[in-house]
Amino acid sequence: MNFNALLARATQRHESLLCVGLDPDPAKFPVGMKGDDTRIFEFCARIVDATKDVVCAFKPQIAYFAAHRAEAQLEALMAYIRRVAPEVPIILDAKRGDIGSTAEQYAREAFVRYQSDAVTLSPYMGLDSIEPYLPYDGKGLILLCRTSNPGGSDLQFQTLAQGGKLYEEVARLAAGPWNQTAKGRLGLVVGATFPEELARVRALAPTLPLLIPGVGAQGGDAAATVQAALTPQGAIIVNSSRAVLYASSGEDWQAAARRVAIATRDQLNAAR
């Protein structure tokens, strides 16, 4: 099943717009695990166990694994999610951006080594930085568009000579000719911290799935996010990482993660 179909099914089955980001930082692990980078897989797997029936996707961030030489633990985690939650798509958050044979290797890393259902990419080297990912049928390609960090405005909010902002041109290209080349497999990353721009991207890309970080620890408003971006034709994937992962540092950390995930899911649903 391709990424878009997996996402639609998980969203419906779990009545959820919530994606849990798996960003394991051993320094923030709970009692008994804190500071132990050999337990990254264990920590993330227990988060998956606690939330797998209340999410529409999981999003492991590759840097949190690579920084601790934990790529093998990431491989094990991807296999674990596919085994215990086969209906939930996995988005590898890698933000790769390169061309030619290098991009081919990044694509192989995402879809062969890690067996992800989708990957985040930087589109700023153009369409030929996306094309090496296309041979992997059904895989989602989610392009950075209007990111949640304040510095994103340095480039993304620049006015182009022909008018409009750079992030708007990314949305137009992704929704139009690039998505035709990709056979309908593109999505966009748009931060919850900019609800007006989120609504603008949705207007320019009415059918593309939007991966929306920034709800939770970054302060994005869940209700404003849903109202700006959710349409019958356009799916949204609202990511929360730290607020779920580190809901408690005590022995109740799994239960606390589940409580926060359920509360966030319910808050998003209430805004539909």
The rounded mean pLDDT for the chain is 94
> Residue 73: which pLDDT band, with cuts at 50, 70 and 90?
very high
Helix 253-270, helix 222-229: angle, nearest 10: 50
Class of domain 3-270: alpha beta
User: How much is the average pLDDT of 195-224?
Assistant: 86
Two tokens, residue 156: 């993304």
Tell me if residue 95 is catalytic: yes
- The phi-psi region of residue 38 (left if phi > 0; otherwise alpha if psi is between -120 and 50; otherwise beta) is alpha
Non-local (6+) Cβ contacts of 101 within 8 A are: none
Where do the structural domains in the chain lie, given as residue ranges? Answer: 3-270
> Residue 216: which pLDDT band, with cuts at 50, 70 and 90?
low
Helix 195-204, helix 166-175: angle, nearest 10: 30
pLDDT exceeds cutoff 70 at 143? yes
> Residue 119: which pLDDT band, with cuts at 50, 70 and 90?
very high
Name the least confident of 75-79, 202-206, 225-229: 225-229
Under a CB-based contact definition with an 8 Å cutoff, are residues 225 and 215 in contact?
yes
Whole-angstrom CA distances from 119 to 34, 75, 128, 237 are: 29, 15, 16, 13
- Neighbour tally for 131: CB within 10 Å: 17
* pLDDT digit string, tens, across residues 157-199: 889 998 899 999 999 999 999 999 999 999 999 998 888 899 9
> Residue 218: which pLDDT band, with cuts at 50, 70 and 90?
low
Distance, C-alpha 257 to centroid of its chain: 18
pLDDT of residue 227: 87
* pLDDT digit string, tens, across residues 24-33: 999 999 999 9
Taking Cα atoms as reference points, which of 118, 85, 120 lies closest to residue 14? 85
Non-local (6+) Cβ contacts of 235 within 8 A are: 4, 7, 8, 11, 209, 210
Under a CB-based contact definition with an 8 Å cutoff, are residues 209 and 177 in contact?
no
HSE of 30 in the Cβ direction (CA atoms, 13 Å)? 20
* pLDDT digit string, tens, across residues 223-246: 888 888 988 889 999 999 999 999
Which ranges of the chain would DSSP assign to H, the alpha helix?
A: 3-13, 40-51, 62-66, 71-84, 100-108, 153-156, 166-175, 177-181, 195-204, 222-229, 242-245, 253-270
User: How much is the average pLDDT of 88-95?
Assistant: 98
Tell me which of 34, 59, 95, 183 is the catalytic residue. 95
d(CA 117, CA 114): 9
The more confidently predicted of residues 251 and 217 is 251
